[in-house]
Amino acid sequence: MTSKKSPIKHLIFGIILVFCLCYITAQDTNIDKAFDALFSNDYVTAKKLFESEAANGDLDALNGLGYLYERGFGTEQNYEKAFQYYFEAAIKGHANAQSNLALAYEYGRGCKADMESAIYWFTKAAEGGYAQAQANLGDIYCDREDYEKALYYYELAAEQEDPGSICNIGYLYANGYGVEQNYDIAFDYYLKSAELGISTAQSNVGAFFEQGKGCTKDLTKAVEWYQKAAAQGDDYAIYRLRQMAEE
């Protein structure tokens, strides 16, 4: 019996693909009002305000319009238009738009799927300090078994407290991928991620306590962490709780 092996996939964090949207702006501006409308589900108003600011070259507005068209909020869903808006903001250096453009290339939304273009734009966004892009690059390189690069990008995202990346660093240390296998370090990363609410990490903390890997064996704590993970629907934790109850 071993701990769960698969790393967190950041693109499935919310079960479905979601194009991330964020902005930093001064208060009481039209772009601020646009985001207030967006977060209030007043998509028609948000679209009008985004369009007004996009005409003036506002990059947050261009990214916002891309999001509305990608999701079909306040307008007919149109991946091609979403791609165009993301691209316009991305080439001008908007890190969030660069990440969204990368996702479009990865999944062929509004363009032909092109993984190398996705990596290019994720890298641009990652260089701009965008944690989600750093995490996504970690996932990509982990899938490609280029674990040293995966670790590099996970560590960048982890510095910004990205909980999935913290969990995935634990995964790399637990399995000796790109690093020397070290259960103590793996446990520390899993525990930190678990405390941030990641169910896979909670399940792995439970497994480590159950097996005494990287920590003192403690079945009571193992059950506690399995229960936390099981409450979030983690299959492995549910399985182990049933098995332990029968032992």
Over residues 163-194, the pLDDT tens digits come to: 999 999 999 999 999 999 999 999 999 999 99
Q: How far apart are CA 157 and CA 99, in angstroms?
A: 14
pLDDT at 1 over 50: no
With a pLDDT cut of 70, the percent of the chain lying above it is 89
Q: Are 229 and 237 in contact (CB under 8 A)?
A: yes
Lookup: tokens for 49: 């305000």
Over residues 28-62, the pLDDT tens digits come to: 688 999 999 999 999 999 999 999 999 999 999 99
3-state secondary structure of 62: helix
Confidence of residue 12 (pLDDT cuts 50, 70, 90): very low
Nearest to 207 by CA among 195, 190, 231, 193: 190
Q: What is the DSSP letter of 160?
A: T
The pLDDT mean for the chain works out to 91
pLDDT at 29: 87
The most distant pair of C-alpha atoms in the chain lies apart, rounded to whole Å, by 67
Enumerate residues 6+ apart whose C-beta is below 8 A from 173: 179, 181, 182, 183, 185, 186, 189
User: Distances from the Cα of 165 to the Cαs of 138, 194, 200, in angstroms?
Assistant: 8, 12, 12
- Please give the angle made by the CA atoms of 66, 69 and 70, to the nearest 5 degrees: 80
Confidence of residue 7 (pLDDT cuts 50, 70, 90): low
Enumerate residues 6+ apart whose C-beta is below 8 A from 41: none
pLDDT at 9: 53
Q: Are 137 and 119 in contact (CB under 8 A)?
A: yes
45-59: burial string, b at 16+ Cβ within 10 Å, e else? ebbebbeebbeeebb
